[in-house]
Amino acid sequence: MPKPILIIKTGSTLPGLSARKGDFEDWISTRMGKQYTFQVIDVTTGTSLPESEIFAGTVITGSPCMVTAHLPWSEMTARWLAKAVDAGLPVLGICYGHQLLAYALGGEVGDNPRGSEYGTTTITPLGSAFDDTLFKPMSSDFLAQVCHKQTVLILPPGAKLLALSSKDSCQAFVYKNAWGVQFHPEFDAEVMHYYISHFRQVLIDEGQDADELSAQVCETPVSAALLQNFASICSAYR
């Protein structure tokens, strides 16, 4: 029997959204493909993670929490990730998962000095991405959904920067067989509209134009394809 892909759940989406469209793990697994099997473990409940060798790979979800809060379940997950990466397991961290992975490997996470980033934005791959296993199909600028306040300020030792945006200097990195992406390949336009609407006043208070951000939201198929790319990497690892 093929090994499952582990989805490490580090939080949930907004309640009104999950009631209608499901949660992070549902969006991730759907975009990776029905031909794969998945196991979801919600680490926020304190559930421990089993040995990484029983999985074909793992995806760490986004979260409303902050890595800098150093919550017990988050610290536990960071220790597990460091060991899993060392063992060669394919890993993909998304948003909070991206930051947690960087922290686990010795990087630094904190508030983005350029402020929060919401909406559909342009991601610019660097030259280092052109021959990267995960980013190889993305050799030019592409659109992605973003929704975050904190970011990776300092990469882990030995990690390679893969992509950036106008408001974030670390949109993606790779370390061995592990990748972090600050953007959300699992978000569709409806999800992004909902987040902007929910945080409308917060964005306005920060001096951002929530209406303009919403008007610029569109589907991001190239970004979404990254999850299929990662699933293929996991399949080969099995």
Q: What is the pLDDT of residue 238?
A: 67
The pTM for the full model equals 0.97
* Catalytic site includes residue 193: no
Least reliable range by pLDDT among 33-37, 61-65, 85-89, 153-157 = 33-37
Percent of the chain predicted with pLDDT > 90: 94
Of 116, 131, 138, 132, nearest to 185 (Cα)?
A: 138
Between 144 and 130, name the one with better pLDDT: 144
Phi, psi angle pair for 68, to nearest 5°: -70, -10
Q: Note the pLDDT tens digit of each residue in 31-80.
A: 999 899 999 999 999 999 999 999 999 999 999 999 999 999 999 999 99
Q: Note the pLDDT tens digit of each residue in 170-179.
A: 999 999 999 9
Q: What is the CA radius of gyration of the chain?
A: 16
Q: Which of 98, 117, 184, 234 is catalytic?
A: 184
Answer yes or no: are the C-beta atoms of 197 and 214 closer than 8 Å: yes
* Catalytic site includes residue 65: no
Mean predicted confidence (pLDDT) in 108-136: 94
* 150 CA to centre of own chain: 13
Task: Give the DSSP letter of residue 151.
Answer: E
Q: How far is CA 6 from CA 76, 186, 190, 217, in A?
A: 16, 16, 26, 30
* 54 CA to centre of own chain: 22
Query: Amino acid identity of 37?
Result: T
Task: Give the DSSP letter of residue 182.
Answer: S
Two tokens at 109? 């996470």
Two tokens at 198? 């929910």
Q: Which of 117, 147, 186, 234 is catalytic?
A: 186
Provide the pLDDT confidence category of residue 138 given band limits of 50, 70 and 90.
confident
Provide the pLDDT confidence category of residue 145 given band limits of 50, 70 and 90.
very high
Answer yes or no: are the C-beta atoms of 53 and 59 closer than 8 Å: no
Two tokens at 113? 């000095």
Q: Note the pLDDT tens digit of each residue in 185-237.
A: 999 999 999 999 999 999 999 999 999 999 999 999 999 999 999 999 999 88
Domains in the chain, number: 1
Query: For residue 74, what is the enclosing H or E element?
Result: helix 72-86
* Catalytic site includes residue 218: no
Domain containing residue 55: CATH number: 3.40.50.880
Rounded distance, CA 172 to CA 31, Å? 19
Q: Which of 95, 147, 170, 234 is catalytic?
A: 95
**50: containing domain:** 5-237
